[in-house]
Amino acid sequence: MASPIDRLDLSPKHAQHNLSAAALIEQAIVAGEGMLASNGAIMCTTGDRTGRSPNQKFLEDTPGIHGKIWWGKVNRPVAPEAFERAMNIAVDHLNARPRLFVFEGFAGADRRHRLGVRVVTEQAWHSLFARTLFIPQGSKAAGDASGGAFQADWTILNAGKRRLTPDEQQALGVDNPVMILQSLERRTVVILGTEYAGEMKKSIFYAMNYDMPDQGVFPMHCSANVARNDPSNVALFFGLSGTGKTTLSADPGRALIGDDEHGWGPDGVFNFEGGCYAKCIKLTKEGEPEIYAAIRFGSVLENTPIDPLTREPDYFTPRWTENTRVTYPVDYIAGAVIPGIGGHPGNVVFLTADAYGVLPPVSKLTHDQAMYYFINGYTSKLAGTEAGVTEPQPNFSPCFGGPFLPRPPASYAGQLVERLKRHGSQVWLLNTGWTGGPYGKGERFKLGYTRAMVTSILDGSLRGVPCEADPIFGLAIPSSVPGVPADVLRPRGTWKDGAAYDDQARRLAAAFRDNDKQFDMPESVRSAGPRA
């Protein structure tokens, strides 16, 4: 049976294929899609959707994949007939556009473990986004200067300007004009009604999370870097958006492998992407010099106000959203590893932004604790990262990437612990959230202190430091960290009211225990959690 995608007109008369960044920027400006900032980046807006729309994401349910999927709030089924209808809507819309843009490249810096990705868009800046975030054919990031024949393993149909009508919503069984659909068997993504470009990026991460385990690769929502003078000193930083993955991995003393999505394969780690997607809110040259310098021609600023006269970006005014973003090629970070491939990590850091203000800023985990805190994936959902989120909220996201997991979380946690044991990697829990009180009363940990903790982890100086166990969470807290006041390390002492801290800590511990009931885990792992 013919697929609706077979009707898509990608002929040279209708679609422009694999344009350069300069050509796409020119097309976007001519079409009124964006404006150039003084630093050379193009700034584009995404309409009323300034973050992902997880409640409008659906997975085609077929007999071939049904038994492998973690069904529930994350993976919500849609019937094949509805998927077909939605794909027809997208194809009809794209065929009716005056022109289309096609990007063809890869997800996966390791040539043995990569997917070919074709992205079809109606807006030039969306194609530039894809060119920046994925790996272009023939590029140094692809590790294949000759290019070669391209095979599309996955196709994205981005009809983001096409909103569903009320009749179409009724026919599809939804109550929203926005719909993002993914099919693991058709290997196709359909985007309707949202111009937020991050939907493209995350749909392919979702695909890698399904496909890579079958290739012996553990897919990870993490950043990665390596010491410039020691290629064996590789580190991973797990965490959800806003917890510091991009900021902490962009370290002048270390080479960036990638800032968000990686695989851990038989020979080490590798970047899934060819670019970085960094938050811009409150960005300064002094605070994050590597990211600030990466915003130049070829970069895409999202929803960042630009002064109409000076064209200077305003990183401090959330005119449309707190979730202001910039996309840039990974090689815009000085000294980045190209292709993005490294060895096995010696240190693995779990990042959390604790809105309760009770977790220690740094702690050392056993293997059982690592599996427990990984499978629970606690952080706070930060403003703007999802539609409708306007202030931080406590949030558990399995494996620090629950929205992108097609398979059960325990399967990914098992892959992690197996590799930790095999390669002797040490795991740390790093709280980049609040201290001295919960969100609204306490204050955020100083970035300088957090960087000092990371430095001590990565140079090995914390491994031998004596630790004491937190009485509620059981976490091993180092007695000292160079460059960090001792009183900062023990969260209870930063609160004016110790009893209030105890109450908040017990509340969070109880929330962990309530959350972990949904997971099947060994008793040794469950007992490694907090004492509720």
The pLDDT tens digits of the residues spanning 1-55 come to 578 899 999 999 999 999 999 999 999 999 999 999 999 999 999 999 999 999 9
H or E segment to which residue 102 belongs: strand 100-107
Average pLDDT over residues 489-512: 95
Is 419 known to be catalytic?
no
In degrees and rounded to multiples of 5, residue 42 shows phi and psi of: -95, 135
Is 364 known to be catalytic?
no
Q: Which of 316, 320, 241, 226 is nearest to 278 (CA)?
A: 241
pLDDT (0 to 100) of residue 307? 96
pLDDT (0 to 100) of residue 147? 54
Q: Which three-class secondary structure string do you get for 464-531?
A: CCCEEECCCCCCEEECCECCECHHHHCHHHHCCCHHHHHHHHHHHHHHHHHHHCCCCCCHHHHCCCCC
Q: Are 85 and 247 in contact (CB under 8 A)?
A: no
pLDDT band at 391 (very low <50, low <70, confident <90, very high): low
Q: Are 274 and 329 in contact (CB under 8 A)?
A: yes
Active-site position among 52, 113, 114, 126: 52
Domains of the chain: 4-217+276-332 (3.40.449.10), 344-526 (3.90.228.20)
Tell me if residue 7 falls in helix, strand or coil.
helix
Q: How far is residue 165's CA from residue 171's CA, in Å, rounded to a whole number? A: 10
pLDDT (0 to 100) of residue 169? 98
DSSP state of 150: -
Count of CB atoms situated within 10 Å of the CB of 436? 17
Average pLDDT over residues 70-89: 97
- How confident is the prediction for the chain on average, in pLDDT? 94
pLDDT band at 513 (very low <50, low <70, confident <90, very high): very high
Is 52 known to be catalytic?
yes
Q: How far is residue 473's CA from residue 359's CA, in Å, rounded to a whole number? A: 8
Residue 292 has pLDDT above 90, yes or no: yes
Residue 77 has pLDDT above 80, yes or no: yes
Active-site position among 50, 194, 246, 249: 246
Query: Residue 153, exposed/middle/buried by CB under 10 A (0-12, 13-18, 19+)?
Result: middle
pLDDT (0 to 100) of residue 386? 53
H or E segment to which residue 94 belongs: helix 80-95
pLDDT (0 to 100) of residue 114? 95
Active-site position among 49, 57, 202, 381: 202
Give CA 147 to chain center in angstroms.
Answer: 27
Active-site position among 114, 245, 262, 381: 245
Is 246 known to be catalytic?
yes
Q: How far is residue 114's CA from residue 107's CA, in Å, rounded to a whole number? A: 6
pLDDT (0 to 100) of residue 392? 54
Tell me the pTM: 0.93
Average pLDDT over residues 454-466: 95
Length of the chain in terms of residues written: 532
Residue 117, CA distances (Å) to 157, 413, 418, 526 in order: 11, 27, 30, 39
Is 62 known to be catalytic?
no
Residue 119 has pLDDT above 70, yes or no: yes
Average pLDDT over residues 415-436: 97
Active-site position among 61, 251, 260, 470: 260
Active-site position among 57, 325, 364, 419: 325
Q: How far is residue 215's CA from residue 115's CA, in Å, rounded to a whole number? A: 12
Q: Which of 194, 186, 197, 112 is nearest to 154 (CA)?
A: 186
Active-site position among 194, 241, 352, 450: 241
pLDDT (0 to 100) of residue 240? 81
Q: How far is residue 234's CA from residue 256's CA, in Å, rounded to a whole number? A: 10
Average pLDDT over residues 342-346: 98
Is 194 known to be catalytic?
no
Q: Where are the alpha helices (DSSP H) in 155-233?
A: 166-172, 198-211
- Tell me the per-residue pLDDT of 145-172, one tens digit each, with 9 for 90 and over: 555 689 999 999 999 999 999 999 999 9
Is 167 known to be catalytic?
no
Residue 363 structure tokens: 């702690």
Is 325 known to be catalytic?
yes
Active-site position among 221, 262, 279, 381: 221
Tell me if residue 344 falls in helix, strand or coil.
coil
